[in-house]
Amino acid sequence: MARGTIALILGLFVLSLVVILVVAVVVVLIGDAQIDFAEAFWRSMLRTLDPGTMGGDTGSVQFVLSMLAVTLGGLFIVATLIGVIGSGIEAKLDDLRRGRSLVLEDNHTVILGWSPQIFDVISEIALANANRRRQRIVVLASRDKVDMETDIKQRLPDTLTTKIVCRSGSPIDLDDLRLTSLQTSRSIIILSPESDDPDTDVIKTLLAITNDPDRRPEPYQVVTEIKDDRNVEVARLASRGEAKLVLGGELIGRIAAQTCRQPGLSIVYQELLDFGGDEIYFFEDAELVGQRFGDALNQFRRSSLIGIVPAGERPQLNPSMERLIASGDRLIFLSADDDTIKRESPPDDSIREDAIASGNHAAAGLERTLVLGWNSRATNLLIELDRYVTPGSQLLVIADGPGVADQVETVGRRLQNLGLSYRPGDTTDRAILDASTAEGYEHVVVMSYSDALDEQRADAKTLVTLLHLRDIESRRGESFTIVSEMLDVRNRALAVVTRADDFIVSGKLVSLAMTQLAENPELNAVFEDLFDEAGSEVYLKPAGDYVKVGEAVGFYTIVESARRRGETAFGYRVLALADDSQKAYGVVMNPDKASTVALTDEDKVIVLAEG
């Protein structure tokens, strides 16, 4: 009985077989029934399975008693068997309800853990799988299976061709991990839990995956987020180098630092990272071998060439325009799909020389930046911002909370270009905001109190601060850029009324980066180059620096103007559409180069450049 349902059924089978055999032997030995052993065995078995068949038995007392004995034995055995089967089915259904059964899938995506990021991750994977049939995502987390399925269904009612399978268990338990069929998975995404020390749980999960004695010999395709960069080396050791690590704080810090100086940049990064529009692809074209990189830019009408991956080397975004394309080089494109990357010679009149502007980019001067609020990502923001600004620029941090002053002082010792100062205060206090903004700051960054408050309360505090800032700006007739960090992407729609210049939805951007790497690990080197302050980065530069404003020009002309500056243009932003979510807040990525657009002084051209 301790061995389970199957053992009980087998035991009852053996017991019934013994009873049937014994009775059959007794009947044959009595001899008055005049039947052989086979018929005696058959009759005994029928009476065991159906007690009603003994009603017509005739013969000696010994024969009738033998039939009665086998019938009574059958009553006991069948009744017990029904109970065992019923209990076994109930236990199995309970296992299924609790998500404790083995997943019988292959080439699926496994998500380990649960956090608010899971909805963005599932949504993006479903989009990536849209052109594939019968795709599966398996979620393993320490939650009830039914609760997980309900939450996912409420937030994501349509997952296209992808089915979500949930299992309850701990991602650090080897037995629970085996429920997800990691051996046959395509990729594994480990979500950073909402705990005091999330990196520890992530590292334990990495150890459980890589040290499973039954693991497959091929490397796993693992992606996860590490909150504290001090844990990166340990995570690499735990994963034996198999995991692609996304440094969430560093990523958001870099995006925030760049975005506060050029609003709209976070939207560009989101468009680059999500699966909803154009994506990054690698493509090799033998006919371009020997041509200069700059000459190839306008040879792809519906795709944007942005870099090269030399054979055996790291990617180079926006390389020298004179760089010759060599055999074995793979080109990096931004395109709607890999089959839309087609070379087309531009028309003879594609470039309007008379519309190309000859002005130079304005040199950056001293900057004054105000940071309102504090969280663990703010340290990376200050460090990254220090790398971009002119020496002598000033930055003031206003925030409240335990330990904030010490953290600001610590990061201040690492800054070289920024003069950093700190004032304690409530960032929703109108008096404090009035006093601080009166000091002539050009840029304001509102950081979320995500370390101290839950997601919704932190976003609510951010919204209050934003409302005050815009009211102050309108009352004084002043103008300063406002960039805000939001936690829940759904609150971005509410934040539009604050008319902030840009919103950084931190959790979503990290989720998008992880999902891209899960689908294509080769992008890791591209992202490292894209977000690194060394080399070329994404900039939104005044349209008037490239073409004459107010004139309708084709994107061929904009690309050529950027090429002459050693830059790679791949989009533009129309400021008049900055509040229109249906049109990506005015950001147009990888436009058809034959299409025309009349840009204004306030519009921007999106380029890859070194500064």
pLDDT mean by block of 10 residues, the chain; 611 residues: 69 77 76 70 72 59 72 73 73 67 89 93 92 91 91 93 92 92 94 88 94 90 92 93 90 86 87 88 92 95 94 90 93 91 89 86 80 92 89 94 92 93 94 89 91 88 89 82 84 67 82 92 89 83 92 94 94 88 87 93 92 69
Say if CB 173 and CB 209 are below 8 A apart. Answer: no
DSSP letter at 375 equals: -
Residues whose CB falls within 8 Å of the CB of residue 568, separated by 6 or more in sequence, listed in order: 297, 304, 305, 306, 307, 317, 318, 536, 559, 562, 607, 608, 609
Query: How far is residue 525's CA from residue 585's CA, in Å, rounded to a whole number?
Result: 28
Query: How far is residue 266's CA from residue 421's CA, in Å, rounded to a whole number?
Result: 26
Query: How far is residue 73's CA from residue 66's CA, in Å, rounded to a whole number?
Result: 11
Question: Residue holding tokens 């844990």?
Answer: 231
Tokens of 23: 């009775």
Would you state the pLDDT for residue 19? 77
Say if CB 575 and CB 603 are below 8 A apart. Answer: yes
Phi, psi of 327 (to 5 degrees): -65, 130
The CA-atom distances, in angstroms, between 486 and each of 360, 444, 494 are 35, 15, 11
Say if CB 129 and CB 67 are below 8 A apart. Answer: no
Q: Where are the alpha helices (DSSP H) in 262-398?
A: 265-273, 293-296, 378-388
Would you state the pLDDT for residue 57? 61
pTM: 0.80
Would you state the pLDDT for residue 71? 75
* Among 265, 226, 268, 267, residue whose Cα is nearest residue 243: 226
Say if CB 70 and CB 48 are below 8 A apart. Answer: yes
Query: How far is residue 356's CA from residue 358's CA, in Å, rounded to a whole number?
Result: 7
Query: How far is residue 493's CA from residue 495's CA, in Å, rounded to a whole number?
Result: 5
Query: How far is residue 378's CA from residue 230's CA, in Å, rounded to a whole number?
Result: 16
- Facing residues of 606 across strands? 540, 571
The three-class DSSP label of residue 447 is: coil
Tokens of 115: 């956090």
Query: How far is residue 447's CA from residue 459's CA, in Å, rounded to a whole number?
Result: 10
Would you state the pLDDT for residue 605? 95
Query: How far is residue 570's CA from residue 609's CA, in Å, rounded to a whole number?
Result: 11
Long-range contacts, 420-423 (Cβ 8 Å, 24+):
420/382, 420/395, 420/396, 421/394, 421/395, 421/396, 421/397, 422/396, 422/397, 422/398, 423/396, 423/397, 423/398
Query: How far is residue 421's CA from residue 475's CA, in Å, rounded to a whole number?
Result: 27
Q: Which domains does the chain have, with CATH numbers?
A: 5-98 (1.10.287.70), 109-241 (3.40.50.720)
Question: What's the Rg (C-alpha) of the chain?
Answer: 34
Q: How many CB atoms lie within 10 A of CB 12?
A: 17
Query: How far is residue 486's CA from residue 463's CA, in Å, rounded to a whole number?
Result: 9
Query: How far is residue 63's CA from residue 26's CA, in Å, rounded to a whole number?
Result: 8
Say if CB 282 and CB 334 are below 8 A apart. Answer: no
